[in-house]
Structure 1
Amino acid sequence: MSTDTKVVSQADVATAVRRGILAGELVAGQRLVEAELSESLGASRGAVRAALIDLTHEGLVERIANRGARVRVVSVEEALHITEVRMAVEGLCGAKAAERITDQEISALRALGQEMTEAVENGDVVGYSQLNQRLHESVIAIAAQPVAAEVLSRLRARNVRHQFRLAFRAGRPQVSLPQHLAIIEGVCARDPQAAEAAVRAHLGSVLEALAESDAPA
């Protein structure tokens, strides 16, 4: 994990660690050593310690007695609960995005949908996963609902390990692509009900896939 500018504040440290978790640079169970973070981010040990406490309250970090802090491991059961909340909040963002989208944003979303289609056709799983994330982020940004955006950012960071596992499951891109295209269509048609329904249907599919991953063999 690196940063382009020198990080000095507690809030900046928390943001850097949070982004590292979201990007998969910091993985579940990985130790977060204060001295290493202080050196790599250019922050004081006090700022790092306070930031890790904040991230513990957010559910992203856990502190183990006599062992320090680590990226929190989220169970499948908790991932299911997180996805249920995402379904409600992100569905709201889909509806808001449909109400607020501009012509320029419509063109950008449709182009993104075409890129996603080509990635699946070419078997580019990594590229498709990145485009998948861009789509969700784009819809949330278009929605312009800052409270929802903050909630979703924290939920996605907590659930990132399971998101990566699903993204690389055989056949998953072929399942999720039409769902993502339906989200794009609903938002671009400026149809709030269709957009919200498409988001909820997609995340309902994610719930089913997560539940299957936890089923006994």
Structure 2
Amino acid sequence: MTAVTSTATRADLTKTLRDAIVSGEYAPNQRLIEADLSTTYGASRAAVRTALLELGAEGLVDRLPNRGSRVRAIPLEEAIEILEVRMSLEGLCAAKAAENITDAEIAEFATLRADILAASESDLFEYSRLNQHLDRRIREIADHPTAVAILERLRAQGVRHQFRLAFYPGRAAVSAPEHAAIIDAISSRDAARAEAETRAHLGSVILALRSIG
């Protein structure tokens, strides 16, 4: 677990706890004890409490009356609703990225495209990491702070279900070409196609999640 110094800002601690929850360091329904977190991250109890309140507002933590906090378990149907909302926002970001992308970034995406396709056949952990990197780069190139801020919150809530899906047998063979199609559209500076390919990919994710339950 990542340590946080006593001088770390509240935002640092909130981000560190968010990342730990999203990455699975804390399991769904696991209790989050303020004293333990204070020791683990080198932060004050007040800072931990504030961070937990913020994560509660984000939907990642449940605050239990007189029992502290626990990691919120996101049900499948809610995860699917989140994906339905993300379709619009991620489609927007893909379109903006297609409008903004530079020649250097197109070259970067060409390398990333090849790496994603190769990893999908041999290394699913690396494939998952590369997909997350692609998503992050699209948001950065899109340069749309409002959409990105909302997406960061939504993605954190639904990431566990998508991580499980990424390792489902045969899924990479379906999703890798979808990611390649998104890259191709953005690199072609075709905003409409970039949005359509992104929406189609997330629609495919929803169908796959429903099929595996």
| Residues 1-217 of structure 1 mapped to structure 2, 5 A cutoff | 1-3=1-3, 8-122=8-122, 124-214=123-213
Q: CA deviation at 1:7?
A: 5.2
Q: CA deviation at 1:127?
A: 1.0
- Gaps (5+ residues) in structure 1? none
1:115-167 residue CA offsets vs partner (Å, 9 max, x unmatched): 11111232x11111111111111111110111111111111111121011101
Instruction: Give the structure-2-normalised TM-score.
Output: 0.95
Question: Which secondary structure state, in structure 1, belongs to the residue aligned with residue 62 of structure 2?
Answer: strand
Higher mean Cα deviation, 19-28 or 145-154? 19-28
Higher mean Cα deviation, 157-166 or 2-11? 2-11
After superposition, the Cα gap between the structure-2 partners of 1:144 and 1:6, relative to the gap in structure 1 and judged at 3 Å, is farther
Question: Which secondary structure state, in structure 2, belongs to the residue aligned with residue 62 of structure 1?
Answer: strand
Percent identity reads 51
For the aligned residue pairs, the C-alpha RMSD in angstroms reads 1.4
Task: Quote the Cα distance in structure 2 between the aligned partners of 1:89 and 1:6.
Answer: 36
Q: Stretches of 4+ moved more than 6 A in 1? A: none
Question: Which secondary structure state, in structure 2, belongs to the residue aligned with residue 73 of structure 1?
Answer: coil
Counterpart code for 2:78: E
1:13-55 residue CA offsets vs partner (Å, 9 max, x unmatched): 1111112223333332222111121122221100110110111
- Gaps (5+ residues) in structure 2? none
1:148-196 residue CA offsets vs partner (Å, 9 max, x unmatched): 1111111111112101110110000001011000000000000000100
After superposition, the Cα gap between the structure-2 partners of 1:66 and 1:4, relative to the gap in structure 1 and judged at 3 Å, is closer
Counterpart code for 1:208: L
Asked if 2 retains the 8 angstrom alpha-carbon contact of 1:99 and 1:191, the reply is yes
Task: Quote the Cα distance in structure 1 between the aligned partners of 2:46 and 2:70.
Answer: 17
Asked if 1 retains the 8 angstrom alpha-carbon contact of 2:4 and 2:41, the reply is no
Q: CA deviation at 1:8?
A: 3.1
